[in-house]
Amino acid sequence: HPDAQKFQFQAEVNRLMDIIINSLYSNRDVFLRELISNASDALDKIRFLALSDSKLLGEGDAAKLEIKVRADKHAGTLEITDSGIGMTRDDLIKNLGTIAKSGTNAFLKKAAEAKDTSNLIGQFGVGFYSAYLVADHVTVTTKHNDDKQYVWESGAEQTFTIYEDKDGEPLLRGTRLTLHLKDDAQEYLDEAKLKDLIKRYSQFINFPIFFETTEVVEVQVEEDAEEGEQASSEEEKPKGDEETDTSEEKDEETDSDDEDIKVSDGDGEDDKKPKTKTEERKSWTLLNENKPIWTRDPNDISEEEYTSFYEGIAKLPGKPLARSHFKGEGDVEFRSILYIPDKPPVGLYSGTTEEEKEAIKLYVRRVLVTDKFEYALLPRYLGFLVGIVDSDDIPINVSREMLQQSKTLDIIKRKLIRKGLEMFRSLMKQDEEEVEKKEDEDEEKDGDEKAGKPKSKYIDFWNKYGKSIKLGVIEDTSNRGRIAKLLRFRTSKTNTDDPYDWASLDNYMDRMKKDQDHIYYHSGSDLASVQESPFLEKLLKKGYEVLYLTEPIDEHMIMNLPDYDGTKFMSISKDNFKFGEKDQEEEKTKSKALKKKFKPLTKFLKEKLGDKVSKVKISNRLSQSVCVLSTDQYGYSARMEIIMKAQAF
Ligand code: ADP
Ligand code: MG
């Protein structure tokens, strides 16, 4: 185009495009979900703005908020059109030339190292650029209320162009994406395939999605010409909701890729009559239900529907680990669906706060207000949950800042936390039920004990999100007791080679020795070094159980957990460490004698080591090793000191 102006993509976009174009991507279908979700986002934005200024919506067709999908077989293009907010020229440059998505760098780094990126791409959700999974050239035509109509184009090289669209078909408002499909992606022009994909991935989009269907019909040409046309024009009128089913059926009857096919009633005689010809008829078919799923009765919602809704909001393929669909009642009424994703989002634990934003969408009376809150709906440690909240009790046109501080949101937040924690517990319950079932089945068989612990949904969850639970112990004081029940540990009495053998604190308490008055723990940088530690020797010999803490967050957590059901925690590497009461009496007399006997040695060592140690004394904690370096009762443990140094507290 003569007016076209050329721009460079941001470096990250180029790297992302390289990955998209060069990966052998097994599931390219996701592009459609991404693009329809962008259309839906754009519609959400204009609908939200129109709440405070209805003029923004325009009139007539412009006011209709909808998505249209159209395949043009002759041109080899697929079009997705929305009447959403559209983009100004500046928006185009910024939104489709740079990438602001959190976690991008983490993703690019991983993708560069990975052999097969397809899984990563799916997890990351490449958004707009996923168009290049199937297209080698993309045209974006867009009209924003505040600007003229523009065209953005790129053939996936390092550049894109923009020009004002003076001659194109005017859009009242919104965006049209035209994908020029690659040779090997022509399947995405197939009506049945497209309809199936849209139904599968986008059925819970809250705006109507229309698909242009082509029907080949026979029309008479001669004497009945007038009558025929009348009949056909009646059939041609766009089909609304009620007619959806019939139009689909018709479509299936004539379901054919061959557009020249002649429809005949099979007796072969029609073919001889020169008075008929075939014609292509286009009509729009509504593909989705667009009644928000959360407003429906859970009893009427199938497992598939829940999963499909999850895929749409989490933008993750696969089944969630658990879900909860509930109504909040009382001071604030709301509905919510929460899911535990099958995988933690890329970057959840990589450390920067930017990457830990929650994925809860807030709707007020079915209108999406925002999904960009920072921990206003869920605390940081539950940031991995995805879902929606819809409430009638939130004023719709208050600013985001005011919303952030609103009491209503606080109430909702408290309930969401409860429900989240309940969901985790429900995984445990499911495990218990499984075990019971298995035990019944296994009753006759015997000697199966060495087979290891059964697979556990909860431990799978723990392996994925355990860090978040530990963070919860630290940060959520009001639910600390509840959260502590969710903790799992490797201990001296679990088989650390068995992926499913972990201990809860309840397990630990049940196994405690009679004279034991503390929960013992020992920390180190990895399991091996903890297990081999001389501190453990005597305890294990005497049959005490010790929790193994190997993650940096573990000690922070224990320090924030004063006790469990009244029993305090104790590091076995602390200077004042003592066994249980009875034990103490016995040991006392013995150690007194020993102390006396070895006084010259301890004195000598202290003199030799000087300031390097605070004291040298006889210990009753060892059975094999000669000596051990321990820390002061009131100081940090050795492990903690290493962590503190690393973090420069
Ligand atoms: P995300 O949707 O996560 O923001 P995308 O890569 O999917 O990331 O899209 C990038 C941006 O491009 C969007 O944030 C939006 O600003 C803009 N955009 C994409 N598609 C549309 C559309 N159909 N209408 C308006 N803006 C769009
Ligand atoms: Mg997107």
Ligand (nearest to CA of 101): 1
Asked whether the predicted pLDDT for residue 638 surpasses 50, the reply is: yes
| Cα 416 to Cα 336: distance, rounded to the nearest angstrom | 8
Find, among 387, 368, 254, 203, the residue nearest to 310 by Cα: 387
| Cα 439 to Cα 453: distance, rounded to the nearest angstrom | 12
ipTM surpasses 0.95: yes
- CA of 124 from ligand 2 middle (Å) equals 11
Task: Give pLDDT, residue 318.
Answer: 78
20: left (phi over 0), alpha (psi -120 to 50) or beta: alpha
Q: Residue of the nearest CA to atom 11 in ligand 1?
A: 95
Portion of the chain with pLDDT greater than 70, in percent:
81
Residue 194 exposed, middle or buried by CB count within 10 Å (0-12, 13-18, 19+)? buried
pLDDT per position as a tens digit, 511-534? 999 889 999 999 998 999 899 888
Find, among 425, 435, 429, the residue nearest to 484 by Cα: 425
Element (H, E) at 326: strand 322-328
Q: 341 pLDDT band (50/70/90 cuts)?
A: very high
Mean pLDDT check: name the lowest of 139-148, 166-175, 324-333, 387-396: 387-396
Query: Which residue's structure tokens are 């990966």?
Result: 23
**How far are the Cα atoms of 1, 75, 149 from residue 167, in angstroms, in the given order?**
11, 19, 10
Asked whether the predicted pLDDT for residue 488 surpasses 80, the reply is: yes
Q: Phi and psi for 10 in degrees, rounded to 5? A: -60, 145
Mean pLDDT check: name the lowest of 128-137, 367-376, 574-583: 574-583
Query: Which residue's structure tokens are 């010999």?
Result: 541
Q: Are 323 and 337 in contact (CB under 8 A)?
A: yes
| Cα 163 to Cα 182: distance, rounded to the nearest angstrom | 24
Angle at 375 (CA atoms; ends 312, 323), nearest 5 degrees: 40
Asked whether the predicted pLDDT for residue 263 surpasses 70, the reply is: no
The identity of residue 49, as a single letter, is L
Ligand 1 binding pocket includes 84 (Cβ within 6 Å) = yes
Q: 350 pLDDT band (50/70/90 cuts)?
A: low
Helix axes 191-202, 303-314, angle to 10 degrees: 90
Asked whether the predicted pLDDT for residue 362 surpasses 90, the reply is: no
Ligand 1 binding pocket includes 87 (Cβ within 6 Å) = yes
Q: Residue of the nearest CA to atom 9 in ligand 1?
A: 128
Asked whether the predicted pLDDT for residue 243 surpasses 70, the reply is: no
Asked whether the predicted pLDDT for residue 257 surpasses 60, the reply is: no
Task: Give pLDDT, residue 454.
Answer: 81
The predicted model gives 383-392 an average pLDDT of 92
Ligand (nearest to CA of 103): 1
261: tokens are 């096919």
pLDDT per position as a tens digit, 522-577? 999 899 989 988 888 888 988 999 999 999 899 999 999 989 999 999 998 876 67
The predicted model gives 99-109 an average pLDDT of 81
Q: 368 pLDDT band (50/70/90 cuts)?
A: confident
Ligand (nearest to CA of 94): 1
Task: Give pLDDT, residue 228.
Answer: 46
Mean pLDDT check: name the lowest of 5-19, 383-397, 400-414: 400-414
Q: 506 pLDDT band (50/70/90 cuts)?
A: very high
Find, among 487, 525, 501, the residue nearest to 451 by Cα: 501
- The residues whose Cβ lies within 5 A of ligand 2, an ion, are 38, 127
Mean pLDDT check: name the lowest of 55-64, 406-415, 432-441: 432-441
Q: Taking the CB of residue 54, how many other CB atoms lie within 10 A of it? A: 10
Asked whether the predicted pLDDT for residue 351 surpasses 70, the reply is: no
Query: What are 142's strand-pairing partners?
Result: 150, 175
| Cα 132 to Cα 182: distance, rounded to the nearest angstrom | 9
Q: Are 26 and 120 in contact (CB under 8 A)?
A: no
pLDDT per position as a tens digit, 192-225? 999 999 987 788 888 999 999 988 898 888 665 4
Query: Which residue's structure tokens are 């986008």?
Result: 202
Task: Give pLDDT, residue 371.
Answer: 60
Task: Give pLDDT, residue 120.
Answer: 75
Hey, which of 41, 68, 172, 315 would you mutate to test ligand 1's pocket, going by the most ligand atoms within 8 Å of its Cβ? 41
| Cα 411 to Cα 409: distance, rounded to the nearest angstrom | 5
Share the mean pLDDT of the chain. 84
Ligand 1 binding pocket includes 251 (Cβ within 6 Å) = no
What pTM did the predictor assign?
0.72
Q: Which position has the higher pLDDT, 406 or 579?
A: 406
